[in-house]
Structure 1
Amino acid sequence: MADALIFFTNPMSRGRIVRWMLEETGCAYRTEVLAFGPEMKAPGYRAVNPMGKVPAILHEGVVVTEAAAICAYLADAFPQARLAPPPGDPRRGTYYRWMFFAAGPVEAAVSNKSLGFEVPSERQAMIGYGSLESVLDALEYAVSQSEYIAGDQFSAADVYVGAQIGWGMMFGTIEKRPAFEAYWNRIGNRPAALRAREIDDALLPPKA
């Protein structure tokens, strides 16, 4: 039943990452679109996510927030989709490593760049990601070792890392390195990715 999984989102949010992941799993779900502002901050939704932000999912009574955590959760909740290396598989470490690298250092470094903040060179040791350049070098390494993040099989890590790279290049917060473009070309036009974009684009407010 679709109501077994409820997806809280806004088409102009990181919920687009989760939509892609949901489409990759093939599971049934119901979408609740929340407007930014009072609706997202209302007590009813804060009972789901006290931060008053999207995305979030409610799956059989379990609430999960944070896009990377949702991707990891869904991969395990729907193992038939084969979107994560199984427990005990050495590739699972690589899968976790780069998914959460994208959720931590990449997200922080790119957000700071968007805000016009650059860590002074003498303070880089105090910041988890050091510098944007070092983060992008590591990310380039991650997408250059094999066809997908965790080897020869597409996974939830590719959804999360790929979305970061695709959006970053689109909005100019991640430079268009050949390795990033090649990786995005491998994953960005998967049927589930195209379906997800079509669904979310249809939910966007009409242009003035």
Structure 2
Amino acid sequence: MRTLYHASNSRSTAIVQLIEEMGIADRIDIVNVTIPRQDGSGSHDPKNPHPEGKVPYLVDGDDHIRERGAIITYLTDMFPESGLGRPPGDPQRGEYLSWLFYYQGVIEPVAILHFAGLTHPAIQASLRDYDTMLARLDEVLTAHPYLLGDRFSAVDILCSGPFAWFGDQMPSTPAIDAWVARCQDRDSVRITHQRDNS
């Protein structure tokens, strides 16, 4: 059986939500592990096989998958019938992959730098700024309810996460706020929240 190594209320929560949303919870064993937390709590867990002690980490036989975008691609390609991904050959495949990589390469680093109040000429020359990232999301979400159009997908789970997690600490727009509310008003979110906090 495939195994997901997960720590409650962490980056791996999005993958647990995805698993619930896809209806494949009976096909993946979710193993809770501890991780070091920013507040000093937690620790590396010897039962976590991730080479850096991080989560999420998916083990499928001899294959090991790390990083949320890679795990999302792997699972949605493995179970295309869920409709949450865009499989090879789908006309939205490129856009789907682009949003997964946009999250890793733009949304998360820009949001962290903005939250921490860090700036430097090298950062400004290398990364997009927060306002540019917001403008891109706002443009798409003003035109459509979800990032790929009218249908909720795995990229909505990943990309809406920081806005849901940090709330008012992440400046946004009305279109982004409405999108985050739609993404959070799902049974998979409620089930995952209950699991993580029980």
Deviates more, 1:94-103 or 1:32-41: 32-41
Cα offsets for 1:120-170 (capped at 9, x unmatched): 4x8622x132x11112212222333322211222211111112233223x2
Asked whether the 8 Å contact 1:56–1:64 carries over to 2, the reply is yes
Instruction: Please tell me whether the aligned partners of residues 21 and 156 of structure 1 are also in contact (alpha carbons under 8 angstroms).
Output: yes
Shift of the 119–137 alpha-carbon distance from structure 1 to 2, 3 Å rule, reads: farther
TM-score by length of 2: 0.86
State the AA in 2 paired with 1:187: C
- 1:191 is the counterpart of 2:187: yes
Alpha carbons of 1:87 and 1:40: their partners in 2 closer, same or farther (altered >3 Å)? Answer: same
Runs of 4 or more, structure 1, over 3 Å off, are none
| 5+ long unaligned stretches in structure 1 | 203-208
- Distance in 2, Cα, partners of 1:179 & 1:147: 9
Give the corresponding residue for 1:161: 159
User: Residue 53 of structure 1: CA displacement?
Assistant: 0.7
Partner of 2:44: 40
Within-5 A mapping of 1:103-182: 103-120=104-121, 124-125=124-125, 127-129=126-128, 131-168=129-166, 170=167, 172=169, 174-182=170-178
Following the alignment from structure 1 to structure 2, what is the Cα–Cα distance between the partners of residues 145 and 56? 35
Partner of 2:12: 15
Checking the alignment, whether the CA contact within 8 Å between 2:8 and 2:197 is kept in structure 1 is: yes
Q: How many residues align?
A: 191
How far residue 39 of structure 1 moved from its aligned partner, in angstroms, is: 5.2
Calculate the TM-score normalised by the size of structure 1.
0.82
Paired letter, 1:85: R
**Following the alignment from structure 1 to structure 2, what is the Cα–Cα distance between the partners of residues 53 and 18?**
13
SS in 1 for 2:152: coil
Contact 1:98–1:142 at 8 Å: present in 2 too?
no
Report the alpha carbon displacement of residue 41 of structure 1 after superposing the two structures with TM.
5.6
RMSD: 2.1
Identity of aligned residues (%): 27
Among candidates 21, 24, 27, match of residue 24 of structure 1: 21
Matches of 1:9 and 1:200 in 2, distance apart? 10
Where structure 2 has 5 or more consecutive residues not aligned to the other structure, the ranges are 37-41
- Pair 123,77 (structure 1): closer, same or farther in 2 beyond 3 Å: closer
The structural deviation recorded for 1:199 is: 0.9
On the 8 A contact 2:160/2:180 being kept in 1, the answer is yes
Q: Encode CA deviations 1:29-75: one digit per residue, 9 max, x unaligned.
A: 22221122485264x53xx3212111111123321111121112111
Give the AA of the match of 1:67.
Answer: R
